[in-house]
């Protein structure tokens, strides 16, 4: 397990290193365009730019509803208000952006918070799995539609075709593998044993043998058993996923709308189909980045794709940086406040 963790960390580190090198090369050779982009930021339409705030809040709400609508359908969160759910979603985004964990920190944090609202760890994890799967699947569906639009608009090229194909294959392969693991109780039991042994071994190494049995196998088996049981219930009642899927589509549209608003505040219109594809590539690659929130990696990929699609370099740089700076500032500022209030209320430890 230690070797696997090191391998994964090394892979992510190499991806980030290569991307940062490419970013440095782009900055070096495109310095003139960066200067022009800086000048464009001075001409931002403040009223259009302010539209980012309500759209971002709505995006947080829809992100949370992907998980919370599922949990409510299972009889949980009966006493939790809509505002509390939106706040939890904001805290989740803050944790995922501030820690370079590719979403793993968010899984732990949300499970910890929802435990205070009577949700079991296994069900909280299943809710987050549903969020990721439906977000990715719905996004790929939208990207395919975007490609069709570009075909009719005569703006499709080989690069976009290849990227779309990779996204589709990744979505199908990832979803199939997840169903393969979660859908069989015997595999879940084996996964429980492997996880318990691996994590205990890693913790033992870092604590120099002082803690050898941090995780207990019965507890881990119960956790994975909850996930498997929820999966079986979803198979029997597939309509449970209808509302979460609707919220997933809304979230993807809102996330891309945030980028379009940023470019619109600069007085520049970009074909939404191109933005959807650029957003998808940037989001997927930034997941395996070692930097918090994919900072640096996301921007480099987004700018590169937009420029290759015909967007002027200075506009691509200015619009991307304006969107990212605004959204990350809002996420970190408000997320940190609510995060600290939650930590103060519930304490820093959990059973």
pTM above 0.75? no
Q: 8-17, 92-101, 245-254, 289-298: lowest mean pLDDT where?
A: 8-17
Helix-then-strand count for the chain, H and E: 14, 0
pLDDT band at 11 (very low <50, low <70, confident <90, very high): very low
- Across 6-15, 167-176, 247-256, the highest mean pLDDT is recorded for 247-256
Conformation bin of residue 142: beta by default, left when phi > 0, alpha when psi is -120 to 50: alpha
* pLDDT at site 222: 76
* pLDDT at site 257: 92
Q: 248-258: buried (b, 16+ CB within 10 Å) or exposed (e) per residue? A: bbbbbbbbbbb
User: How many CB atoms are closer than 10 A to CB 100?
Assistant: 17
**Has residue 60 got a pLDDT over 60?**
yes
Which distant-in-sequence residues (6+ apart) come within 8 Å of 243 by Cβ? 65, 69, 70, 73
Task: Give the tens place of pLDDT for each residue, 63-73.
Answer: 888 888 888 88
* pLDDT at site 18: 52
Q: 4-8, 164-168, 313-317: lowest mean pLDDT where?
A: 4-8
Helix/strand/coil for 311: coil
Contact 153, 271 (CB under 8 A): yes
* pLDDT at site 1: 38
**Has residue 153 got a pLDDT over 70?**
no
Mean pLDDT of 276-280: 81
DSSP 93: H
Task: Give the CA count within 13 Å in the CB-facing half-sphere of 98.
Answer: 17
**Has residue 299 got a pLDDT over 80?**
no
Task: Give the tens place of pLDDT for each residue, 179-211.
Answer: 888 877 888 878 777 877 777 777 777 777 677
Closest CA to 273 of 136, 151, 135, 158: 151
Contact 161, 277 (CB under 8 A): no
pLDDT band at 348 (very low <50, low <70, confident <90, very high): low
* pLDDT at site 340: 76
**Has residue 29 got a pLDDT over 60?**
no
Which distant-in-sequence residues (6+ apart) come within 8 Å of 265 by Cβ? 44, 45, 46, 48, 49, 322
* pLDDT at site 217: 73
Which DSSP string do the residues of 21-87 spell out, in sequence order? HHHHHHHHHTHHHHHHHHHHHTT--HHHHTTHHHHHHHHHHHHHHHHHHHHHHTT--TT--HHHHHH
Which distant-in-sequence residues (6+ apart) come within 8 Å of 94 by Cβ? 331, 332, 334, 335, 336, 338, 339
pLDDT band at 3 (very low <50, low <70, confident <90, very high): very low
Helix/strand/coil for 2: helix
CA distances from 151 to 125, 142, 164, 274, 280 (A): 39, 14, 13, 12, 18
The Cα 304–Cα 313 span in angstroms is 9
More confident residue, 117 or 1: 117
Task: Give the tens place of pLDDT for each residue, 98-115.
Answer: 665 545 666 777 778 888
């Amino acid at each position: 397990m230690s070797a696997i963790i090191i391998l994964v960390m090394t892979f992510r580190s190499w991806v980030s290193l290569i991307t940062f090198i490419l970013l440095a090369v782009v900055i070096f050779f495109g310095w003139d365009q960066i200067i022009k982009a800086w000048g464009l930021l001075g001409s931002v339409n403040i009223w259009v730019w302010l539209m980012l705030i309500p759209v971002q809040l709505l995006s947080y709400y829809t992100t949370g509803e992907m998980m919370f609508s599922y949990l409510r359908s299972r009889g949980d969160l009966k006493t939790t208000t809509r505002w509390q759910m939106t706040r939890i979603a904001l805290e989740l985004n803050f944790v995922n952006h501030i820690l370079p964990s590719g979403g793993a920190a968010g899984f732990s944090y949300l499970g910890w918070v929802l435990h205070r609202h009577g949700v079991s760890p296994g069900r909280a994890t299943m809710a987050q799995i549903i969020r990721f799967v439906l977000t990715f699947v719905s996004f790929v569906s939208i990207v395919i539609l975007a490609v069709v639009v570009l075909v009719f608009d005569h703006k499709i090229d080989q690069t976009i075709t290849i990227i779309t194909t990779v996204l589709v294959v990744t979505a199908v392969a990832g979803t199939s593998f997840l169903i393969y693991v979660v859908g069989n109780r015997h595999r879940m039991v084996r996964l429980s044993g492997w996880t318990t042994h691996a994590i205990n071994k890693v913790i033992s190494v870092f604590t120099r043998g002082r803690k050898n049995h941090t995780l207990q196998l019965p507890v881990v088996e119960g956790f994975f058993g909850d996930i498997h049981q929820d999966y079986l219930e979803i198979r029997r009642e597939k309509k449970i996923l209808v509302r979460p899927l609707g919220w997933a589509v809304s979230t993807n549209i809102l996330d891309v709308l945030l980028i379009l608003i940023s470019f619109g505040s600069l007085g520049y219109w970009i074909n939404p189909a191109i933005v959807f594809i650029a957003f998808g590539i940037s989001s997927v690659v930034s997941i395996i980045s070692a930097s918090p929130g994919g900072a640096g990696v996301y921007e480099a990929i987004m700018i590169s794709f937009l420029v290759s699609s015909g967007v002027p370099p200075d506009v691509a740089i200015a619009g991307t940086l304006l969107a990212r700076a605004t959204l990350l500032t809002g996420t970190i500022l408000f997320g940190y406040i609510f995060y600290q209030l939650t930590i103060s209320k519930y304490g820093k430890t959990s059973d």
